[in-house]
Amino acid sequence: MVFYTVACTINISVDMLTTYFTAFTIMSEIGFRTYDGTRLSDVPMFPQGFETYAIQRSLAENLWLYAFPSTFLIPFLIEPIPSVLIPLLLGKLIVRTHPEIKGHDAEKWLSGAEMEMGRYGDILLNMVLSILIFFFPGGYTAGLFMAMAGCHVYIYAFDHWRVLRAIPSCTFASMSVDWCCQAMLAPLCAIMAACLMFKSQNQEGFPNLSIWGNVFACSGAFIGHCVVHMLVLIYVVPRFSLVKGEDKFGDVKYEDVAKTVASTWFSENPVHCLRSKFVYKHSPPCSFQFNGKEHLLEVNEKIGCYYSQEKEKTEYDDIKQVEEEPKL
């Protein structure tokens, strides 16, 4: 997630720099002038050239087109096709044309990919593009953030459907990815600090910095905010966590939990399940837990198996029941 976000941010930076140099060269050759009549070709490229209205408007327009709909919407409209539809169609084709694939193997071919945390990187990338608009005139700011909000509503709706209908399971073993996402917000907020420093240099009461002074001021604001943000995240935020007190689940026994949770150490250990059936000859043996097949688990309290679930009734079961009913 971190590498993906950093790589995309570098790509955005290269694109913006290329756009800036291209726009500055073209406008200089055409003969654009600043508000006081100075030819753009006579203005230093940075920072004076960057602050001219023609360049600012050109970069803001390119950022808007880069963000919407190219980044905010189109990839997420296409995403269901390669991530859900095509794997399902290919899986159906393979299972239909290969009769030797049956049982759990056939189910795996037809099921979708497990849930992963790559969406964090997508959202962070959209936030980077939205924050960069603060470097430019405010004409595109409201529209860009409204477009991002609307597109994120669609992203949330798609993920909601995908989790409920397409993803077979989710495995989040730790909070490391979530913590890295929170840490990645530090440079995003630092971009706003650098933007504030850049925009304030020509305002009343603030000095007009030189080229390197501007670079050092923006870099200092960026690095300073990152340091403070990370220190707060590491040392201050944990102090607001819930106070560790008496464990309200201290009296809960294993069998009470195992009656409601199919996934236990026993049912998730394939070697233990094999030993239970072929070595220890348990009756009934400990069965291996498959997602969607929890109803196959049998209760045997002597070996720590307490889970029991009735099979959910499906449309196929209704048809089968009708066929099996005696005809009058």
Residues 149-208: tens digit of each pLDDT: 999 999 999 999 998 888 887 877 788 888 888 999 999 999 999 988 888 776 666 666
Q: Is the pLDDT of residue 116 over 60?
A: yes
Lowest mean pLDDT among 64-73, 247-256, 263-272, 279-288: 247-256
Task: Print burial letters for 211-245: b (CB count within 10 Å at least 16), e (below 16).
Answer: eeebeebbeebbeebbeebeeeeeeeeeeeeeeee
pLDDT of 313 reads 59
Long-range Cβ pairs for the range 28-32 (8 Å, 24+) = none
Q: What is the pLDDT of residue 312?
A: 63
Confidence class for position 42, pLDDT limits 50, 70, 90: confident
Report how far residue 98's alpha carbon sits from residue 89's, in angstroms, rounded to the nearest whole number. Answer: 14
Cβ contact 293:108 at 8 Å = no
CA distance 240 to 242: 7
Helix extents (H) in the chain: 2-30, 48-51, 53-67, 74-78, 80, 86-97, 104-110, 119-132, 141-165, 176-200, 211-231, 254-258, 270-274, 315-324
For 278-326, how does the pLDDT look when each residue is reduced to its tens digit (9 = 90+)? 999 999 999 998 877 888 899 999 999 999 887 665 555 555 555 565 5
At 104, the pLDDT band (50, 70, 90 cuts) reads confident
| Range from 28-32, 76-80, 206-210, 238-242 that averages highest in pLDDT | 76-80
pLDDT confidence of 108, banded at 50, 70, 90?
A: confident
Query: For the whole model, what pTM was predicted?
Result: 0.75
CB neighbourhood size of 81 (10 A) = 10
pLDDT at 56: 84
From the list 232, 231, 76, 84, the residue with the least C-alpha distance to 155 is 76
